[in-house]
Each structure stands twice: as C-alpha cells, then as structure tokens.
Amino acid sequence: MYAFTYVRPNTLAAATAALKESEARALAGGMTILPTLKLRLAAPSQLVDLSALEELKGIRLEKRALSVGALTCHADVAASPDIRRALPALAALAAGIGDAQVRNRGTIGGSVANNDPAADYPAAVLGLNATIRTDRREIGADLFFRDLFTTALEPGELIREIVFPLPKRAGYSKFRNPASLYAMVGVFVADTDSGIRVAVTGAGSRVFRSSPLEQALGKSFTAAALADVKVPATGLNEDLHGSAEYRAHLIPVVARRAVAAALA
C-alpha cells in the first residue's frame, strides 16, 4: 500500500473540499478501494472517509418514489420495512449481495459510483430509471453508466441519494459466480409507468438495457413470453467463467426468473 493522507470530515462541505485535492479518493464502504490500495493498483494522495456524514444515510418513502441515502448499507436496504413493502425487488437484490460482512459495510452509493460491471445495484438503478442526486445535480440512470468502472460523475462529485420511482411490479434474479458471489448475469425487470425496462448486469462491460427482452415483455409480462427470445453474444464478456455465447444464453433464462419473482 502506498502512503496517503487520511481524513474523516463531519460535513458534506468539508468532504467535497477535501476531494478537491489532486488524486484524492472517497471512501464509503471500502469494498473496492481498500483491496485496490492493498494491491498497489491505486495511489491516492488523500483518502476521504465519508462514514461520518449522517446526512448521506437513511431511507425515505414518498408517495411514488423511494429515496435511499448514498451511505446506506446493503443490510439496511434489505431489512427496511418501507423497501420490503414498496419495492421488494430492491430489498431482495440487496439481500443477495456478497456475504453478511459485505452487506454490513458496503453502501449503495459506493456500489453505484464504482460501477463494477458485475455489481447488482446498477441493474436496479437502470431497470427502474432511477435518478442519481449528487452534491451538484441530478443525473438520470440512462445517462449515468458510461463504461467499465466509468460513470457520469465528475472528479470530486459525490452521490447524495438515489431516487427510485415505484414500479407497478419488478423483480431481480442473478446467476452467481460461486466464488465471488458477483453476477455472471443478473437481470432486473420492471413494469413502470413509462413501459417495460429490463437491465442486465454481469454480462457486458457495463450494465445495459435489453431491447429484445423489453419488447417481448411489453406484449406479455410473463416468463413464457421470453421462451423464444434470443440475445446476441456480440460485445458480451468472455472469461474463464463463461463464454460470451454462454452469457447470451443465460440472459433470457435469468430474465424469466426475474419475471417470475415480479409476479410472485
């Protein structure tokens, strides 16, 4: 691990000021940045610990939306009575992230900002067309996820909360790597006021929407409607865990399970 300065500000203003230093990095749950530092794959000049920022924690249920503070941990999302009642697909997704240690340390904002191509939350954010509220602006889900570990966030910009519009029904399912528990393929389906949205994580360099699946579910929101849908393998991930063709085959299979969960 390379040497760095550590600060733990008590206010959002102090945190954003600290992040203006060249090569400063934010620390939320630490699920990615700390292993990266240990392996000397990153060398920030300053690590800005956000854990004291109570204003970035908490869950708020509004009439037609659910707001989740960026520093809310996965375990709290999974256990929240409001989320389990209003958006059970999000609670189930959070309950399936990693293990108990990860769920009690990792945060929703950290996961979304990191944009790991196999992370679960990006599928929910994109599938529900959520809004990412930062200390500077609001960013729609369709514009947020740019590429591998790359988002629309500018240097030093912090996520404050994520606002999920409540769908008519939604479901999530994933085919997990048994070692890492990350999604080889994860699919979030949502029947929203603006139509059907299907977001796929784990299969490509970033989370993406699947037009073939959306079109099929737009005609009939049933698992059977996806029986003959084919997803092209072009551009999908290929590694020792599975070929691009294998992931292409998994996407509609996992999508059918997500639809079944939405209808349960």
State pTM to two decimals: 0.95
- Residue 193 has a CB neighbour count (10 Å cut-off) of 10
The whole-number pLDDT of residue 175 equals 97
Provide the 3-class DSSP secondary structure of residue 112. Answer: helix
- Kindly state whether residue 21 falls inside one of the protein's structural domains: yes
- Kindly state whether residue 103 falls inside one of the protein's structural domains: no
- Kindly state whether residue 100 falls inside one of the protein's structural domains: no
Point out the domain boundary residue: 14, 30, 52: 52
CB-based contacts of 109: which residues, under 8 Å, 6+ apart? 28, 56, 69, 70, 71, 72, 158, 159, 161, 162
Q: Are strands 150-151 and 145-147 parallel, antiparallel or unpaired?
A: antiparallel
- Kindly state whether residue 201 falls inside one of the protein's structural domains: yes
Handedness of CA 161, 116, 200, 142 (dihedral sign): positive
Burial of 143 (0-12, 13-18, 19+ CB in 10 A): exposed
- Kindly state whether residue 127 falls inside one of the protein's structural domains: no
- Kindly state whether residue 37 falls inside one of the protein's structural domains: yes
The whole-number pLDDT of residue 22 equals 85
Q: In Å, what is the CA distance from 62 to each residue of 72, 159, 168?
A: 17, 19, 15
- Kindly state whether residue 5 falls inside one of the protein's structural domains: yes
Question: What is the total count of domains within the chain?
Answer: 2
The whole-number pLDDT of residue 181 equals 83
Q: Decide if 133 contacts 140 (C-beta within 8 A).
A: no
- Kindly state whether residue 126 falls inside one of the protein's structural domains: no
CATH code of the domain containing 217: 3.30.390.50
Distance CA 194, CA 251 (A): 23
Structural domain containing residue 38 = 1-52
The whole-number pLDDT of residue 219 equals 96
Q: Each residue's pLDDT tens digit in the chain (264 positions)? A: 899 999 999 999 999 999 998 899 999 999 899 999 999 999 999 999 999 999 999 999 988 999 999 999 999 999 999 999 999 999 999 999 999 999 999 999 999 999 999 999 999 999 999 999 999 999 999 999 999 999 999 999 999 999 999 999 999 999 998 888 899 999 999 999 999 999 999 999 999 999 999 999 999 999 999 999 999 999 999 998 899 999 999 999 999 999 999 999
CATH code of the domain containing 36: 3.30.43.10
Distance of alpha carbon 239 from its chain centroid, rounded? 22
